[in-house]
Amino acid sequence: MSITPIDRLEFIRITAAATSVRKDTKSGVSVAPSASVTRALALRVNGEAVRLDVDTRVTLLDALREQLQLFGTKKGCDHGQCGACTVHVNGRRVLSCLTLAVMHDDDDIITVEGLERNGVLHPVQEAFIEHDAFQCGYCTAGQIMSAAALLNEPCGPSDDDVREQMSGNLCRCGAYPNIVAAIQSARGRA
């Protein structure tokens, strides 16, 4: 017996599953089908062509971490509430815990591992080190991916503009002042 009622993620998993949802007539609660359905995908991850067989219930986050062993992308909540799992899909930032892997056939995915070019850090990564824009580091991949995307988004010049655009990435260590400073310096360089 689980103490958690069916949550939103469960709901997505269930409704997205190709097989029909079984309804437990006694409790009236819908439960996930035990049989999994897999689909073949072809996508590009960090510049490389990747073929994957994914369970249709699997999020992009879990596929990246568990099937591709790209552990840099973090799971802080699995519910789209913290930003730790931010990656780029076709150049835009996306919460990888809120999207199913099966939806990304043919897409271009960049994770924190894909920012470095020939051993040279991305300007945002450089700036994060320079400004000590992290403490425990658990939110950091998400912060960096959001910040790297922000460089190409319309964003006003002020610190407040940056704060607004970064407000979906929580940092409990409270490294916010340094994160804003790092992003501003990376914008100056980019």
Partner 1 sequence: MPSRSVGRSVVRKEGRGKVTGAARYIDDLTFPGLIHARTIRSTIPAGEIVDVAFGFDTSGFTLVDYRDIPGRNIVALIDDDQPCLAERLVRHVAEPILLLAHADREALLAADVRIRYREAVPTYDATTSPIAFKTIAIDKGRIDQGFREADVIVEGEYRTGHQEQLYIEPNGVIAVPEHGGVTVYGSMQCPYYVHRALKVLLDLPDDKVRVVQTETGGGFGGKEEYPSMIAGHAALVAIKAQRPVKLVYDRVEDMLATTKRHPAVIRHRTGVKRDGTLTAIDIDAVIDGGAYATLSAVVLSRGVIHATGPYRCDHIRIRGRATMTNTPPNGAFRGFGAPQTQFAAEVHMDRIAEALGIDPVRIREINALRPGDRTATGQRLGRDCSALAVLRETVKRTDFKRKWRAYARLKASRCLKASRYKEGGSRGIGLSLFFHGAGFTGGGEVKLASKASLALTDRGARILVASTEIGQGTRTMHAQIVADTLGVPYDCVDVNAADTGQVPDSGPTVASRTCMVVGRILQRCAEDMRERLGRLTPREYLKRHGPLVITREYERPTDMAWDDNSYRGDAYGTYGWACDVAEIEVDRETWEVKPIAFTTVHEIGKAIHPVLALGQIEGGSAQGLGYALLEEVVMRDGRMANAQLTNYIIPTTLDTPPIDVVILENPYKHGPFGAKGVGEMPIDGPAPAAINALRNAGFDLREIPATPERVMVSEKQEPRHALHA
Point out which residues bind partner 1 (CB under 8 A).
1-4, 7, 31-32, 34, 36, 57, 65, 70-79, 81-82, 84, 111-113, 115-116, 121, 125, 128-129, 132, 134-141, 144, 159, 163-164, 166-180
Does the footprint of ligand FES cover residue 81 (CB under 6 A)?
yes
In the complex, least distance from residue 18 CB atom to partner 1, rounded to whole angstroms: 15
Q: Where are the alpha helices (DSSP H) in the chain?
A: 8-16, 60-62, 123-130, 140-150, 159-166, 176-189
179 binds, among partner 1, ligand FES, none (CB under 5 to 8 A by kind): partner 1
Nearer to partner 1, 105 or 132 (CB): 132
Does the footprint of ligand FES cover residue 176 (CB under 6 A)?
no
Nearer to ligand FES, 41 or 144 (CB): 144
Does the footprint of ligand FES cover residue 84 (CB under 6 A)?
yes
Contact 124, 86 (CB under 8 A): no
Nearer to ligand FES, 58 or 171 (CB): 171
Strands (E), the chain: 22-23, 30-31, 38-45, 48-55, 86-89, 92-95, 108-110
The site for ligand FES, by CB under 6 A, has a size of: 23
Distances (CA, A) of 58 to 111, 140, 146: 17, 23, 23
Quick one: residue 52, left, alpha or beta (phi over 0 = left, psi -120 to 50 = alpha)? beta
d(CA 111, CA 4): 31
- Residue matched to tokens 């655009």: 165
Nearer to ligand FES, 151 or 173 (CB): 173
Does the footprint of ligand FES cover residue 100 (CB under 6 A)?
no
Query: Angle at Cα 187 formed by Cα 124 and Cα 136, nearest 5°?
Result: 35
Nearer to ligand FES, 97 or 102 (CB): 97
